[in-house]
Amino acid sequence: MTDNSRRVARALLSVSDKTGLIEFARALTNLGVELVSTGGTARAIADAGLKVRDVSDLTGFPEMMDGRVKTLHPNVHGGLLAIRDNADHARSMKDHGILPIDLLVVNLYPFEATVDKGASEDDCIENIDIGGPAMIRAAAKNHYDVAVVVEPPDYQSVLDELAANNGATTLALRRKLAQKAYARTAAYDAAISNWFAAELKNDAPDFRAFGGKLIQALRYGENPHQHASFYKTPDRRPGVATARQLQGKELSYNNINDTDAAYECIAEFDAKRTAACVIVKHANPCGVAEGADLASAYRKALACDSTSAYGGIIAFNRTLDADAANAVAGIFTEVIIAPDATDEAIAIIGKRKNLRLLLAGGLPDPRAAGLTAKTVAGGMLVQSRDNAVVDDMTFKTVTKRAPTDAELRDLGFAFRVAKHVKSNTIIYAKDLATVGIGAGQMSRVDSARIAARKAEDAAKELGLAAPMTKGSVVASDAFFPFADGLLVAIEAGATAVVQPGGSMRDNEVIEAADAHGIAMVLTGVRHFKH
Question: In the beta sheet, which residues pair with residue 17?
Answer: none
The residue annotated as part of the active site, out of 18, 180, 282, 470, is 282
How far is 58 from 80, CA to CA, in rounded Å? Answer: 13
The pLDDT of residue 10: 93
Q: 127, 111 in Cβ contact below 8 A?
A: yes
| Residue 67 scores a pLDDT above 70 | no
Element (H, E) at 348: helix 343-350
529 is catalytic: no
Helix (H, G, I), strand (E, B) or coil at 292: coil
Distances (CA, A) of 445 to 330, 474, 530: 34, 13, 17
Q: Which residues touch 107 (CB under 8 Å, ≥6 apart)?
A: 15, 16, 17, 132, 150, 151, 152
The residue annotated as part of the active site, out of 141, 176, 470, 516, is 141
- Per-residue pLDDT band at 1 (split at 50, 70, 90): very low
Out of 50-59, 158-167, 397-406, pick the least confident: 50-59
Q: 307, 457 in Cβ contact below 8 A?
A: yes
The pLDDT of residue 3: 63
**Average confidence (pLDDT) over 263-286:** 96
Compare 283 and 110 and report the one with higher pLDDT.
283
201 is catalytic: no
DSSP 8-state class, residue 353: T
* Per-residue model confidence as pLDDT tens digits over 114-144: 888 888 988 888 888 888 899 999 999 999 9
Q: 398, 522 in Cβ contact below 8 A?
A: yes
Q: 454, 515 in Cβ contact below 8 A?
A: no
Helix (H, G, I), strand (E, B) or coil at 215: strand
- Per-residue pLDDT band at 2 (split at 50, 70, 90): very low
The pLDDT of residue 54: 87
Out of 199-208, 362-371, 405-414, 416-425, pick the least confident: 199-208
Give the mean pLDDT of the chain.
92
Query: What's the helix, strand, coil split of the chain in %, to 5?
Result: 40, 20, 40
Element (H, E) at 375: strand 371-376
Residue 105 φ then ψ, to 5° = -125, 105
